[in-house]
Amino acid sequence: MKIVTVVGARPQFIKMAPVSRELKKVGIEEVVVHTGQHYDYEMNQIFFEQLNISEPDYYLGVGSGSHGYQTGEMLKRVEEVLKKENPDLVLVYGDTNSTLAGALAAVKLHIKVAHVEAGLRSFDKKMPEEVNRVLTDHISDYLFAPTETAVKNLHNEGIMQGVYLTGDVMYDALLYNIDIARKNSRILKELGLNRKEYILATVHRAENTNNRKNLESIIGAFIESGELIVFPVHPRTRKYLKSYGLIEKIKKSENILLIRPVGYLDMLILEENSNKIITDSGGVQKEAYFLKVPCITLRERTEWVETVEDGWNILVGTDKERIIWAIHEFKPSGDTYSYKFGEGNASKKIAKLLRGELYEQS
């Protein structure tokens, strides 16, 4: 039995790691295809090293570009690999262009598709991720949903067959790696940070970085808040900060610490020890929730509605005053915490389900 796994971005490497370990345990051969969607060392290679993931069997080197170009190039190159490998199934994760390209390449060759993180919905089709996840769900044979809400979303769209409530593989990854991070990370000492005396911020989504007004508003809120904000800067974000003249503004401020992107273990430690987290990332929203750190999300909608329902996450968009208010005033609403993302065994469930399904086919 052979599975081809298609990944291409930092969150997918994190999700893949625990599942790959479990696939190996149940005797499934896995061929890993890295599309090259993320290609900087800080966003790519370091994650393979820290998560103890084998080097990809194929590196397609697609790189950056428009959504159409990137998805099209991935589709062509993944198809070539699938024709060569002839797998029993293609496994995709999340909602990136790599996800959609991998699923499309497979279904057009009549190869079954399994989607990890199926059923998520922000109900905002302006987000390319929303389009990717909806289309992938509707062409997948096996849909591994992280939450009951995700299952309901699929059922509401008429997808009933092949849907499994597994829990969230990112929770598996965090539980596996958090003690390793605590023992090995030196990031707090290197940056001179004290526990719970700083706010961690990440900004990378196109609707925030490519829009000058939005990015200026976000950076203005950071500066005017007066709070110490540690800001690992995504390569695309850094490009736009420079082009909008915001890098100099940040450097003149006394409360924003700009750093390069960090590896997964260092990121976990920065998240766990922060007072609050400000982000537009779906994965970071979840990690904040898992670690019980209040999260301020720079979006008007989120696919991780459970984090908001439980009172640990607040959506503020890019309005400067709302961001500043949340930095100073937002606190989780009481003791609400319902562990809606499973018990940390999602990867085992997925591997066993796939093993059973593939054996049944053979």
As a whole number of angstroms, the distance between CA 207 and CA 277 comes to: 19
Q: Give the CA distances from residue 254 to residues 56, 66, 250, in Å, rounded to whole numbers and listed in that order.
A: 42, 36, 8
Is 34 a residue of the active site? Answer: no
**Three-state secondary structure string covering the chain:** CEEEEEECCHHHHHHHHHHHHHHHHCCCEEEEEECCCCCCHHHCHHHHHHCCCCCCCEECCCCCCCHHHHHHHHHHHHHHHHHHHCCCEEEEECCCHHHHHHHHHHHHCCCEEEEECCCCCCCCCCCHHHHHHHHHHHHCCEEEECCHHHHHHHHHCCCCCCEEECCCHHHHHHHHHHHHHHHHCCHHHHHCCCCCCCEEEECCCHHHHCCHHHHHHHHHHHHHHCCCEEEECCHHHHHHHHHCCHHHHHHHCCCEEEECCCCHHHHHHHHHCCCEEEECCHHHHHHHHHCCCCEEECCCCCCCHHHHHCCCEEECCCCHHHHHHHHHHCCCCCCCCCCCCCCCCHHHHHHHHHHHHHHHHC
Q: Which of 38, 204, 234, 328 is catalytic?
A: 204
By annotation, the residues acting in catalysis are 204
